[in-house]
Amino acid sequence: MKELLLLLLVVTKASSRSHSSWCEPGCNCQGDLKFTICSRALFTELPARVPPYTDLLDLSDNLISVIPEGSFNKNRKLRILLLQNNNISVVEDGGFSQLEFLQKLDLRWNRISTLTEGFSFGLAFLRELQLAHNRLTGLHSRSFLHLDGLQRLNLTGNSIRTIQVRSFSPMSSLRQLHLQDNRLTSLRSGIFSMLRSLEVLNLAGNRISKMETGVFKPLTSMSLLNLVNNQMSTVYFKTFLSIRTYSTHILLEENPWNCDCDLQRVFRKLQSIQRLFLDDYYNLTCEEPPVLKDYRLMDTELCLAETITVLIITITVVITVLAAILMGERSRKKKEKRRKHWPQQGELSEESDY
Ligand SMILES: *[C@@H]1O[C@H](CO)[C@@H](O)[C@H](O)[C@H]1NC(C)=O
Ligand SMILES: *[C@@H]1O[C@H](CO)[C@@H](O)[C@H](O)[C@H]1NC(C)=O
Ligand SMILES: *[C@@H]1O[C@H](CO)[C@@H](O)[C@H](O)[C@H]1NC(C)=O
């Protein structure tokens, strides 16, 4: 019995020793050391000991603030890396560069303010990048340079004001781009160039009031365009006409529409385009002019005044033309009458000449 107990003790000690030699205190290494869970461990830096064959490393809810260069060079097999809810403000160039098998990287709720080219070094197989709720203010043409395989990018809830032309163009496999709740005010054409695979573009909750007419043209796979809760007061027909897809749903609610005949006409023309679906057209409300505030755009007939004006102008023109013709006719008749007199005078003068 004593021997058995001793044996048990030795075994547990040995196993706990081997466990601890692979697994940092504060972490829980499970499933043949494939899952390393170090959530809420009060870490202020990355743990030194992570089992080398770990698939999933969960470091969420810690106080990590820096990702130094080459941090994961002993964990090249990682497929999922969770770093949400930390204090990360610095990702050194090449911080994730060893992670050639990484598919998902979650960096939500951190303090990242810039994405340098070095951020994406070596992440060619990354499929999903969560960067929501950081402090990004702008995206540069090299921010996502090495993310050729990315399919889903979530940038919700940053403070992005500027997007350089071609910022997203390295990501030709991207299918979802979430940019809601940022500070975009205008969309320049070229910012979405090369996004041939993009299916979902979420721009809700920005301050967009201006869009260059060609901005959505490169998005030939787009099935959902969300522009809810922006600052648009009007749209150009061409902007949406240039969307060359099989079918695209467009959401436009919660914008301060300036309801005039032009706007109504644009929407009527858009509705007649088979491939475009204005799903919330019936919910669009007017902000301007004041008399129409909170009225629904579809409930008003804004082109009536214009129609009447056009009618009046047409009638006026017709009357004028008719009058002119009549006057012309009358004066022709007068002339004819006069001509009947003139020849007699001519005869007379001829007579007097001879
Ligand atoms: C978070 O990082 C900042 C520096 O970026 C530091 O000043 C602050 O103390 C950190 N907060 C915590 C809770 O570690
Ligand atoms: C993007 O991030 C926000 C904030 O975390 C989240 O609510 C949303 O579901 C995410 N969307 C996708 C498609 O990942
Ligand atoms: C229109 O607004 C109503 C009430 O806010 C909402 O229930 C409905 O889902 C909206 N319809 C669309 C198509 O967004």
Whole-number Å distance between alpha carbons of 213 and 233: 15
Whole-number Å distance between alpha carbons of 183 and 270: 27
Ligand 1 atom having least distance to the Cα of 90? 5
110 lines ligand 2 (CB under 6 A): no
* Residue with the two structure tokens 């058995």: 4
156 lines ligand 2 (CB under 6 A): yes
What pLDDT is attached to residue 107? 98
Q: Best substitution site from 228, 251, 277, 280 to test ligand 3's pocket, by max atoms within 8 Å of Cβ?
A: 280
Whole-number Å distance between alpha carbons of 257 and 191: 25
Whole-number Å distance between alpha carbons of 249 and 237: 16
146 lines ligand 2 (CB under 6 A): no
What pLDDT is attached to residue 319? 81
- The helix (run of H) or strand (run of E) holding residue 35 is strand 35-37
* Spacing, Cα 20 to ligand 1 middle (Å): 29
What pLDDT is attached to residue 331? 82
What pLDDT is attached to residue 344? 53
Domains of the chain plus CATH, in order, are 24-104 (3.80.10.10)
Predicted TM-score (pTM) of this structure: 0.83
Averages of pLDDT over runs of 10 residues in the chain (354 residues) are: 42 41 87 90 93 94 95 93 96 91 97 93 94 97 92 98 94 97 96 95 98 95 98 95 95 96 93 94 93 89 74 78 83 76 50 42
What pLDDT is attached to residue 14? 36
What pLDDT is attached to residue 19? 53
CA distances from 154 to 14, 132, 235 (A): 44, 6, 26
Asked whether 297 and 263 are in contact (CB, 8 A), the reply is yes
